[in-house]
A and B are shown apart, each in its own frame.
Chain A
Amino acid sequence: MIETTETGIDGLDEILNGGIVTNSTTLVSGNPGAGKSILCLQFIYNGVELYDEKGIYLTFEEDARDLQEAAESLGFENWGDHVESGDIKIYDKQQLLRENDFSSSLDLLLSDIEGAGYDRLVLDSLAMFELFFEDETEKRTYLLKFTDILRKNELTTLMTNEQGAVFPETEIGLENYLTDGNIYLIQTPTESGVSRYVWVAKMRKQNIETDIFPMEIGESGIRVHQNASAFSLMNEDESPI
């Protein structure tokens, strides 16, 4: 029996056959606005609230205040308290990108990873992390080393990736092969707004539903519908983003 880590997101754990494989690294891909950050916020917040698992949130994209506002707009009222108590540890844009200072942040991060009892980690985004490496070989090598460090320290990780779903003309990044799982968030414009879907293309060691499922982003975050009949409901809730 494979151990899984629940995201606590309605419908997503079901199509994942229980959750994300524990101690694995999953890439969450999608275009801007597809809901990657929301999924990650839910993963970390639910971890603390529902499963008593502490989380690290690394973001090169936002600072801690924006992140907290985003969390609170999803109704995650205790986000700030969890950050204060250390159950959620934030490494934000300001800290990570302080002039040439990623390497000292990395020291702190590595010590958190290695011994502070965290179970979940989010890296937003992989593309920014890769900027610290010089060429393709180096990016590949250090992504593998980093995921190895995370796995051995028993962290279940989501990394975001600016990339649309893989339809023929889209290039599949090497990152998709180097990580254990691939979740795509897809949005397509419609007459009345936007239709959203989630596709779990890969989850190593896990039997998963590889169909594409409709999802919505409502006031309290992402919700995945497991059957097509819910599909017609999708545009009823206005997306907050």
Chain B
Amino acid sequence: MASVDILQTLGNKYSAEILDATDEPRSAQELSDELGIPIATCYRRIDELTEHDLLELHDNILSDDRRRIKVYRRNVETVHIDFEESLTVSVEERSEVTNKLDEAWRTLSEG
């Protein structure tokens, strides 16, 4: 059941902190350092959140030592949980306008 899945993903330790911190794009290493999350756990949480479209790969940036680093940004603005009829979890996504411009711009720099 998708709704329960999302709640579970959100409820996992550090998930909320990661979403809170990824208003601006952050790398796994930055999140691990800033939030004190063991790096392996950090990667696992990022995968789970990305699978549920709560977080998204924002860009592959070039680090100071010329390596490619993945940075992630949260894809969700608000989550509503409704028990009235049956359990429904609705996720309000971030502005699609910015997402689309980001995407178009990213394609440019790759091309």
Contact = CB atoms under 8 A, between A and B. Distances in A.
A146 B100 contact: no
Given A132-B95, A134-B95, A103 B105 contact: no
Contacts, number: 36
- Band of interface residues on B: 10 to 19
Interface stretch (A54-62, A80-88, A106-114, A201-209): A106-114
Interface residues of A, number: 16
Nearest to B24: A137
A148 B108 contact: yes
Given A106-B100, A149-B104, A152-B108, 12 more contacts: A106-B101, A107-B100, A114-B104, A132-B95, A132-B98, A133-B95, A133-B97, A142-B101, A145-B102, A146-B101, A148-B105, A148-B108
A114 B107 CA distance: 11
A133 B98 contact: yes
Nearest to A145: B105
A103 B96 contact: yes
A138 B98 contact: yes
Contacts of B104: 110, 114, 145, 149
Contacts of A149: 101, 104-105, 108
B101 A102 contact: no
B43 to A, nearest CB: 27
Interface of B: 95-98, 100-102, 104-105, 108
A152 to B, nearest CB: 5
Q: Chain B's interface: helix, strand, loop or mixed, by majority?
A: helix
Contacts of A114: 104
A213 to B, nearest CB: 36
Nearest to A104: B96
A156 to B, nearest CB: 17
Contacts of B102: 145
A104 to B, nearest CB: 8
A18 to B, nearest CB: 27
A106 B97 contact: yes
A192 B101 CA distance: 48
Contacts of B96: 103, 106
A103 B97 contact: yes
B100 A110 contact: yes
Nearest to A129: B97
16 contacts: A103-B96, A106-B96, A106-B97, A106-B100, A110-B100, A132-B97, A132-B98, A133-B97, A138-B98, A142-B97, A142-B98, A142-B101, A145-B102, A145-B105, A148-B105, A149-B108
